[in-house]
Structure 1
Amino acid sequence: MIKVNAVGEVCPKPVIMTKKALKEIESGVVEVSVDNQTSKENVEKMAKEMGHTFETKEEGNVFVITITKSGEKQENSSKEENIVISIGSDKMGDGEEELGKILIKGFIYALTEAETLPKTVLLYNKGVLLASTFEDTVKDLKVLEERGVEILSCGTCANFYHVQDQIKVGTLTNMYTILERQMKAAKVIKP
Structure 2
Amino acid sequence: MITVNAMGDNCPIPVIKTKKAMQALTGPETIEVLVDNEIAVQNVTKMAESSGGAVKSEKIADKEYKVTIQMNGAPETVSEGEETCMPDARDNTVVVINSDRMGSGNDELGKVLIKGFIFAITQLDTLPKTMLFYNGGATLTTEGSDSLEDLKSLEAQGVQILTCGTCLDYYGLKEKLVVGTVTNMYSIVETMAGAGKIIRP
Normalising by structure 1, what TM-score? 0.58
State percent identity of aligned pairs. 50
Q: Which residue of 2 aligns with 1:118?
A: 128
Q: Which residue of 2 aligns with 1:86?
A: 96
SS of corresponding position for 1:84? strand
Task: Give the partner amino acid of 1:131.
Answer: T
CA distance in 2, matches of 1:151, 1:119: 9
Unaligned regions of 5+ residues in structure 2, if any? 1-46, 52-88
Q: Which residue of 2 aligns with 1:157?
A: 167
Cα 1:122/1:167, change in 2 over 3 Å: same
CA distance in 2, matches of 1:81, 1:105: 22
Task: Give the partner amino acid of 1:127.
Answer: G
Unaligned regions of 5+ residues in structure 1, if any? 1-19, 25-78
Q: CA deviation at 1:163?
A: 0.3
SS of corresponding position for 1:165? helix
Task: Give the partner amino acid of 2:136.
Answer: K
Cα 1:120/1:181, change in 2 over 3 Å: same
The runs of 4+ residues in structure 1 deviating greater than 6 Å are: none
Which is higher, the Rg of structure 1 or of structure 2? 1
Task: Give the partner amino acid of 2:171.
Answer: Y
> 1:39-71 deviations in whole A, cap 9, x for unaligned?
xxxxxxxxxxxxxxxxxxxxxxxxxxxxxxxxx
**What are the within-5 Å matches in structure 2 for residues 46-61 of structure 1?**
none
- CA RMSD after TM alignment: 2.3
Count of matched residue pairs:
120
CA distance in 2, matches of 1:176, 1:119: 18
> 1:143-178 deviations in whole A, cap 9, x for unaligned?
000000000000000000000100000000100000
SS of corresponding position for 1:86? strand
Task: Give the partner amino acid of 1:178.
Answer: I
Q: CA deviation at 1:119?
A: 0.1
> 1:79-107 deviations in whole A, cap 9, x for unaligned?
96300000000000011000000000001
Please tell me whether residue 129 in structure 1 is matched to residue 139 in structure 2: yes
Q: CA deviation at 1:23?
A: 4.9
Q: Which residue of 2 aligns with 1:108?
A: 118
Cα 1:23/1:138, change in 2 over 3 Å: closer
Matched-pair contact (CA < 8 Å) for 2:138–2:163: yes
Please tell me whether residue 187 in structure 1 is matched to residue 200 in structure 2: no
Normalising by structure 2, what TM-score? 0.55
Q: CA deviation at 1:136?
A: 2.2
CA distance in 1, matches of 2:175, 2:159: 22
CA distance in 2, matches of 1:117, 1:96: 29
CA distance in 1, matches of 2:158, 2:168: 23
